[in-house]
Chain A
């Protein structure tokens, strides 16, 4: 037996080794904090940029005019026949707008050298169409004088948002100083103002000349239908495949290969799925171009591995004793899975599915290849079939499309679109987190 000699060191004094260890620990904590700080800084920069650039898109400049809906111009026969009234194109409405603008300027007592045509040029190219749609909806308004809020064009809007200034105007042919004077006067009069623009969230895309009228609404519907396809296909297929692989399949080299390949699929760049979709769904199966159905199919391919991997992980996390218990009382394999294992794994499966959907929602590259970008100014689809089969865009593709266009007003809308997309993604991820919290570890 050897004596255990006390070292004699006091506990109140740290020895050299302890000091060294403590320093290493402190250093490591510093690295960690620094890493988190950098991450947070990036996030703050990202969010402030997006918000500062994007919020403008949710506001739009409108001018209030009183438009006399002259029967002589809109319904020459005077019998309120819709077919006849439809024959009047937006050009037919232009004189009404001009007159209304002149009237407004006179009523407000504004001195201006502008002709009525130049005044009306301040309006959006969409204004006449808005008025026409309004009349076509209810032909009985013909003959009355109605007050209407019209979109102004993107230059006026830019002027109010500080994007267009009197200096930058010098080499811009579409607006001049006199027009801006008129805008200032109308602002002072209170008839021209910037307000929240719901159409940006609900409306359709608009052509190059009318950025002020463009909205995300239809692209959102496109995304919605794609997600519907993804959910309807990827969830059942993914869950069935996972249950089979995890609970029923024998463990041998074939299942090993399948497993490796599923992991590989999760790592395949999404554009590869895009070109696959182009080759198989469009060129071979002749499904329509740019259809959310095709987009959804492609995104399903992309989302499947994510769902399979997360489903298998949550099936694995159900303790085997639960399976034993079920088998022990004489449940069949399938009963043990469907009555006991699956309900316990469900929150995990849902979380994985939502995260997979969120990924798919933000995916752009494969949509480029199947033609879901480009100008699609269709109205919202009327029904599920048309929602699936009619050409449409998707939120991220719409953002890409806007960012590509020349007019800075579209650029602003791209940022605005990103805000909408982020709201969706954050909501979905929050739901996933909540689900996980709510149902975590019930056994």
Chain B
């Protein structure tokens, strides 16, 4: 207990020392002629959960995908502006997106386990990044990741059963385990609970809170309650603009912008 308190303090100090893990400046995203993200500036802190909320189609996923350059895979997509992680421009020509994605993990909206065994799903990332020197180490990594994904107890007896044979909620937690297995520094989650029942959602939320100890987590969600429960910072997007960004408590109790207020009270969306 005592240890925990101390480490929390350290965390706070760290935050003041390095204010922004991810710093986005004047980010514009275009899909062909569609201007999907307009001039977004945001600072995402380390060891914090940041929630992106906003009506459907406002660009939450698009912006999230900028952070690990998944948008590179979309031919028509063009990103302008400046996104820095730990002060390094991730769109610099010298940056290899593959290396970046090892550092910035992602969990997708729809659970997408590989059609392989549960073990291989989790072991894949560590394998390709050479994180384990031998089988025993790999086993350890897999177990640790599955434990953090809050799914170890359910699958420990069938690690070699196919990951696609799990229920939707289990699959999503498997995907989270897969994402944390590579020890990323930032974890991006695009509506990770949209396919889950309340119990699984609660588990994932608990998990997110734990992950915050070691990562900075960005989560897109359509649930105000979820945003309020898990996040410390909230960003409200509307029609491609970042309308309001601040402490979650403040956004939900005293929003500055009328659009934020109408959204969280359910008048637009």
Whether B113 and A325, one on each chain, are in contact in the complex, defined by CB atoms closer than 8 angstroms, is: yes
A324 touches B108 (CB 8 A): yes
In the complex, A250 has a CB within 8 A of chain B: yes
Verify if B186 is at the interface (C-beta below 8 Å from A).
no
* Docked complex Cα distance between A329 and B121 (Å): 10
Interface stretch of the complex, out of B96-104, B153-161, B222-230, B237-245: B96-104
Cα–Cα, bound, A321→B182 (Å): 19
135-194 of chain B: CB within 8 A of chain A: 164, 175, 178-179, 181-182
| From A330, A332, A335, residue with most partner B Cβ within 10 Å | A330
Asked if B73 is at the interface of the complex by the 8 Å CB criterion, the answer is yes
Report whether A330 and B114 are in contact in the complex, using a CB–CB cutoff of 8 Å.
Answer: no
Partner of B105, one of A251, A329, A332, A442: A329
Whether B128 contacts A325 by the Cβ 8 Å rule is no
Instruction: Give residues 280-323 of A contacting B (CB, 8 Å).
Output: 319, 321-323
- Kindly identify which residue among B102, B112, B115 contacts A324, using a CB–CB cutoff of 8 Å: B112
Residues of A within 8 A of B235 (CB): none
Interface assignment of A354: CB less than 8 Å from any CB of chain B: no
Q: Mark A319-341, 1 if CB is under 8 A from B, else 0.
A: 10111111111111001000110
Cα separation A442 to B117 with both chains bound (whole Å): 12
- Given the known interface contacts A332-B98, A335-B128, the answer about A327 and B70 at a Cβ–Cβ threshold of 8 Å is yes
List residues of chain A with CB within 8 A of the CB of B181. Answer: 329
Asked whether, in the complex, the Cβ of B182 is within 8 Å of the Cβ of A329, the reply is yes
Nearest opposing residue in chain A for B129, CB measure: A330
Q: Which residues of B contact A329 (CB under 8 A)?
A: 101-102, 105, 124-125, 128, 178-179, 181-182
Q: Known contacts A324-B112, A325-B113, A325-B114: does B75 contact A330 (CB below 8 Å)? A: no
> A321: which B residues are within 8 A, CB to CB?
108, 110, 112
Q: Are A344 and B115 in contact (CB under 8 A)?
A: yes
Interface membership of B211, Cβ < 8 A: no
Residues of A within 8 A of B220 (CB): none
Residues on the B chain within 8 Å of A91, using CB: none
Asked if residues A327 and B101 are in contact (CB atoms below 8 Å), the reply is: yes
B residues near A323, Cβ cutoff 8 Å: 73
Tell me if A443 counts as interface (CB < 8 A to partner B).
Answer: yes
Do B164 and A443 touch (CB < 8 A)?
yes
Report the separation of the CA atoms of residues A440 and B68 in the bound assembly, to the nearest whole angstrom: 33
Q: Are A324 and B182 in contact (CB under 8 A)?
A: no
CB neighbors of A among B82-115 (8 A): 98-99, 101-103, 105-108, 110, 112-115
> Closest chain A residue to B73 by CB distance?
A327
CA distance A251 to B77 in the complex (A): 13
Residue among A319, A325, A340 with most chain B CB within 10 A: A325
Nearest A-chain residue to B124, judged by Cβ:
A329
Which of A328, A332, A339, A443 meets B108, CB within 8 Å? A328
The answer for the CA separation of A319 and B181 in the assembled complex, in Å, is 23
Indicate if the CB atoms of B115 and A250 lie closer than 8 Å: no
Beta-carbon contact of A331 and B114 below 8 Å: no
Partner pick for A442 among B70, B115, B124, B178, CB 8 A cutoff: B115
Once the chains are docked, how many angstroms separate the CA of A172 from the CA of B105? 87
- Say how far A422's CB is from chain B's closest CB, in angstroms: 37
CB neighbors of B among A210-256 (8 A)? 250-251
| A319, closest chain B residue (CB) | B112
Interchain nearest-CB distance for B127 vs A (Å): 9
State the CA gap A63–B40 with chains docked (Å).
96
**Chain A residues with Cβ under 8 A from B102's Cβ?**
329-330
Which residue from chain A places its CB closest to the CB of B126 in the assembled complex? A329
Q: How far is the CB of B207 from chain A (nearest CB, A)?
A: 17
Specify which chain B residues have a CB less than 8 angstroms from the CB of A330 in the assembled complex: 98-99, 101-103, 125, 128-129, 182
**Residues of A close to B178: CB separation below 8 A:** 325, 329
Neighbouring B residues of A340 by C-beta, 8 Å: 114
Interface pairs (18), CB distance under 8 Å: A251-B75, A319-B112, A321-B110, A322-B112, A322-B115, A325-B178, A327-B73, A328-B70, A329-B105, A329-B124, A329-B128, A329-B179, A330-B98, A330-B101, A330-B102, A332-B98, A344-B115, A443-B115
Question: Which 10 A-B pairs rank lowest in CB-CB distance, beginning with the nearest?
Answer: A330-B102, A329-B125, A321-B112, A328-B106, A330-B101, A443-B115, A325-B112, A332-B98, A442-B115, A251-B75
